[in-house]
């Protein structure tokens, strides 16, 4: 808790948390939402394509979209770390935060697996054979992204301590 208290007093933490400008916490939260919208949005569309259309329509050129999805995740990661630095005690003493990270990790592993599978099929104009494993993965991924977004949103409500001082003072 001493470390969290120290982190909360660092210049970056204070600026993101308290600076009276929209470029601080509001803009960082906007970037976080933009990034997650790109990576989760693309993943959901891709999974629905796998589940519903891949055996009926030829493979669209997905390589640039995968890069966009990973860029979206990188934006979410950097902004997420800034949000974490702004309120470390709030996130790190909330079990929902760890559940969220597990959902995100699972969803990203599935995204990488699907990327390897789809890119491994080359840019053929023929139809993709979607194995049962890929289908189950696509369904699971939809649930994981829903879980990541739900737990991410809940973080604003489920926390126990806002700041380290609240914990140390036993509030």
Residues that bind ligand HEM (CB under 6 A): 29, 32-33, 36, 39-40, 73, 76-77, 80-81, 83-84, 87, 90-91, 104, 148-149, 152-153, 155-156
Residue 130 to residue 49: CA distance in whole angstroms: 11
Smaller CB separation from ligand HEM, 25 or 49: 25
Nearest residue by C-beta to ligand HEM? Answer: 152
Smaller CB separation from ligand HEM, 50 or 149: 149
In the complex, what is the shortest distance from the CB of residue 112 to ligand HEM, in angstroms, rounded to a whole number? 13
In the complex, what is the shortest distance from the CB of residue 107 to ligand HEM, in angstroms, rounded to a whole number? 8
Residue 29: CB atoms within 10 Å: 17
Residue 133 to residue 114: CA distance in whole angstroms: 10
In the complex, what is the shortest distance from the CB of residue 71 to ligand HEM, in angstroms, rounded to a whole number? 12
In the complex, what is the shortest distance from the CB of residue 47 to ligand HEM, in angstroms, rounded to a whole number? 14
Smaller CB separation from ligand HEM, 82 or 128: 82
Retrieve residue 12's tokens.
């970056």
Environment class of residue 166 by beta-carbon count within 10 Å: exposed (0-12), middle (13-18) or buried (19+)? middle
Smaller CB separation from ligand HEM, 47 or 128: 47
Contacts of residue 163, Cβ cutoff 8 Å, sequence gap at least 6: 8, 87, 89, 90
**CB distance 114 to 26 below 8 Å:** no
């Amino acid at each position: 808790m001493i470390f969290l208290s120290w982190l909360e007093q660092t210049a970056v933490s204070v600026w993101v948390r308290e600076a009276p400008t929209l470029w601080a916490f509001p803009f960082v939260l906007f970037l976080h939402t933009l990034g997650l919208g790109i990576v989760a949005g693309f993943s959901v569309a891709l999974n629905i394509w796998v589940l519903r259309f891949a055996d009926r329509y030829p493979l669209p050129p997905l390589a640039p979209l995968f890069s966009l999805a990973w860029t979206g995740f990188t934006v979410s990661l950097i902004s997420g770390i800034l949000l974490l630095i702004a309120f470390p005690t709030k996130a790190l003493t909330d079990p929902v935060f760890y559940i969220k990270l597990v959902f995100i990790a699972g969803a990203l592993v599935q995204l990488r697996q699907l990327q390897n599978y789809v890119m491994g099929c080359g840019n053929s104009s023929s139809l993709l054979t979607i194995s049962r494993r890929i289908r189950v993965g696509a369904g699971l991924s939809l649930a994981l992204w829903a879980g990541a977004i739900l737990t991410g949103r809940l973080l604003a409500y489920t926390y126990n301590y806002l700041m380290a001082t609240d914990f140390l003072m036993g509030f």
